[in-house]
Structure 1
Amino acid sequence: MFEVVLWGSTGLIVAGLLAFWWRRDARERRETELYTRWANATVWNSDPSTKIVVVSRTVEDVASVSDGVVEIDAVVASDPPVVAGWYLLVTGWVDARDRAKRGESIAFGPAEILDSFPPDTPELVDRLSGRGNRPPGLVSRLLGLRGL
């Protein structure tokens, strides 16, 4: 009977560790894929009219998008609905900014919205690049050390 309890508990511990490592690996793969998409949109993009903009607020079909310098109210029609706080990779931003200065209405459709990113993407990119705040690991929390 002792062997059954010993091997059963060992099997449960190993299964629990495997499940934990699998979930962590899946999360890291998702974060790496998001990091790669962000890098392709910002660093490796050769189109000068493409810009990452943040959606400030949405009212029905009209979204207020900003690139940090100019804020434009535009009609945004995309397959996934646009949510405030998300980042959009928009092509033709320079032309849209110029048209908005002249008072014309702006519309971004699925052809202009190349990609979308969740609100925490810049912090994730900073963390994966070695910048920003990193939560301490288990060993550093147990020993009270910083930087591990």
Structure 2
Amino acid sequence: MAAPSSAAHRGTTRAYARRHAQARRGRTQDRSEVITGNTLIRIAVDLLMSRAHGCAATPETKALAVELAPARLRVNAVRFGRIDTPLWRSRPGLDSDEAIAAAGSTAPLGRFGTAREAAASALFLMANNYVTGQSITVDGGETLT
């Protein structure tokens, strides 16, 4: 099965956001939307949203933030670099602390990030009700080099 195009993802994302905004009309509670590198996730009980391609995350974040601001919905993105998680450790040759340390030594900060550090960025975006349309990159400076 072929992957849907980026335009199809944007259409699905916007359709979901419109339905979500219509369902919220009259409510005053703020919600947070977080876009990670590959997936757009609604932070609520039903954690389901369509995929967004990583390269499209920043413009999609800004476009959705502008579109959904009148409904008091915030949209932000978190893009992760190399974070020490079981997924990374499942890769061949990265199953030990020494291998992770060696692989992370090439990053500007000289290590992989921790899951706690990655989570802190998402928590910041959820806790600050005045932030919308922003993309935070948590990668130890790798995109700077």
TM-score (normalised: structure 2):
0.25
Bigger strand share: 1
Structure number with bigger Rg: 1
Q: Which fold has the larger relative contact order, with Cα–Cα distance below 8 Å and residues 6 or more apart in sequence?
A: 2
TM-score (normalised: structure 1):
0.24
